[in-house]
Amino acid sequence: MGEDGKVTSVAFKDRIDAHKVIEEFMVMANVAAAETLIEKRTPLLFRVHEEPTLEKINALREVALGAGLNLAKGQVLQTRHLNRLLDQAEGGEFDELINMATLRSMTQAYYGPENFGHFGLALRNYAHFTSPIRRYSDLIVHRALIKAHRFGPDAKHDGLSDWDIDHIQETATQISETERRSMTAERDTTDRYLAAFMSDRIGATFAGRIAGVARFGLFVKLDETGADGLIPIRSLGNEFFRHDVEAQTLTGERSGQVLGLGQRVQVKLSEAEAMTGGLLLELLEVEGKTMARQSRGRAGKSFGRKGAATKAKRIKARKKVDRKRH
């Protein structure tokens, strides 16, 4: 960020071995805190991550089959089954496709006083006890530990109060909803900064990967910046594309062209709206092959200045619906 408040460059955070070691210790501390409070029969807030719905698992299975991989059917799904699928795909042609599809199949984690386990981490007991920033959920667990172990000279005052216990479900609901709003605000802010940065590069081409498929178009994540942009389906030409929700594909009715999750693409930046964070892209190549186009007719109509902001707002609304956090 420059002194004038404008984004000067975009870079990805490095994740080194030290970070992974710290994460492992944090997970172990979280498990220990949860198990201690269960043993002490003290109320607490669990970090709950329930297993994926049958519908999402079936959709993931369709994607896996299309990639020549197998996700076992007819048995209770466990985390190890998904890990095995990811291991099969690792280093192969469909590595990123399977990773994306697996993430999309996950449910959203939340806080609650009832323990349903953490599916993603394959842990029976899990709570948020330690973090770089002190979340309110962490403080609830800290106070519960003070109460359970009678830590400190004034454990009754510093520990979990009767009011905290009586309202623990309300607290769980409120901080879960606040967490979702916070994550949405963070994503929206990032999108706006990226769109402002990209606004000087209209007409430039970028490499990326299809990260989302909807009936109205394709979402592409750009390699260089990590920005998400939309390829409207009408920009693909007059050909009708069929949307397969389970397989996460768009298929051209006449050409048979299949556009699906995880495919490598080359795109051209058509519009960037900094106020909304919306990016409009034009598809140039799919997996190294030039995108064949039919006569566009109305689909080739460009968006004027007057309609750009309105169009970008619609794109932004669609993005929010499509990319709920897993």
Q: Which domain holds residue 236?
A: 193-322
Using pLDDT thresholds of 50, 70 and 90, give the confidence band for residue 325.
Answer: very low
Question: So what's the pLDDT on residue 313?
Answer: 53
Integer Cα distance of 237 and 90 in angstroms: 35
Residues 172 and 41 in one domain: yes
Integer Cα distance of 264 and 207 in angstroms: 7
- 14: its two tokens: 């490095």
Integer Cα distance of 243 and 249 in angstroms: 6
Residues 172 and 216 in one domain: no
Residue 52 lies in a domain: yes
Cross-strand pairs, 130? none
In contact, 251 and 242? CB cutoff 8 Å? yes
Integer Cα distance of 14 and 20 in angstroms: 11
Residue 3 lies in a domain: no
Using pLDDT thresholds of 50, 70 and 90, give the confidence band for residue 316.
Answer: low
Residue 158 lies in a domain: yes
Residue type, 168: I
Residue 7 lies in a domain: no
Question: So what's the pLDDT on residue 245?
Answer: 83
Residue 2 lies in a domain: no
For residue 275, give the CATH number of its domain. 2.40.50.140
Question: So what's the pLDDT on residue 293?
Answer: 63
Sign of the CA dihedral with 216 first, then 222, 225, and 226 last: positive
- 290 vs 41, higher pLDDT: 41
Residues 169 and 39 in one domain: yes
Residues 181 and 295 in one domain: no
Domain boundary among 163, 185, 207: 185
Domain boundary among 185, 208, 227: 185
Integer Cα distance of 96 and 106 in angstroms: 16
Predicted confidence (pLDDT) per residue in 90-123, tens digit:
888 778 778 888 888 899 999 999 999 999 999 9
Residue 249 lies in a domain: yes
Using pLDDT thresholds of 50, 70 and 90, give the confidence band for residue 66.
Answer: confident
Domain boundary among 167, 185, 203: 185
**With a threshold of 0.85, does the pTM exceed it?**
no
- 25: its two tokens: 């210790």
Query: Number of structural domains, the chain?
Result: 2
Cross-strand pairs, 15? none
